[in-house]
Amino acid sequence: MDKKVEVYWNLHKKLWSVREAHGRVLGHSEYIRLVEVDWVVQEGGRQRVLRERKKNVHAFARGYLLRSGPIFLWGERDITYNPYKYSSFMARTGEGLIEVKHSKYARFTHNNHKPVVTEGLGR
């Protein structure tokens, strides 16, 4: 947990891509956990998606890799992002969707090769 990384869903590989913050891809994984997560949407890339109707990497989670131990003890909720509907990442709550900019913890998995993202609010 020394350097920040960025995590995004790779549409071609159907896996999570992990890259150095602002840098090269380090690898791919089916399961990733981050701590101190910032949810980033680059508006220029989002506008390009809206204009061209073709997806590009412009939204990702930036945080520190967590390699061991449990992370979610309370406050789990699903995170979603759709550039055609939202300008930021959204968390599902009992009352609906709310914008999310930062999470204490995040878990990245998949279900039938579709991304599943969950945030944890604390220990």
What domain range includes position 27? 4-120
What's 68-79 look like in SS3? CCCCCCECCEEE
**57 with 45: CB under 8 angstroms?**
yes
Q: In this predicted structure, what is the pLDDT of residue 41? A: 98
Amino acid identity, residue 36?
E
Q: What is the pTM of this model?
A: 0.91
Alpha carbons 21 and 115: distance in angstroms, whole number:
21
What percentage of the chain has pLDDT greater than the value 70?
92
Phi, psi torsion values for 48, nearest 5 degrees: -65, -40
| The two structure tokens encoding residue 102 | 């930062």
Is residue 94 very low, low, confident or very high in pLDDT (cuts 50, 70, 90)?
Answer: confident
**The total number of structural domains that make up the chain:** 1
The candidate with the shortest Cα–Cα distance to 28, out of 19, 41, 39, is 19
Place of tokens 């509907």: 85
The pLDDT tens digits of the residues spanning 29-78 come to: 999 999 999 999 999 999 999 999 999 999 999 999 987 765 555 678 99
Reported confidence tier of residue 116, pLDDT bands at 50, 70, 90: very high
58 conformational bin, left if phi > 0, alpha if psi -120 to 50, beta if neither? alpha
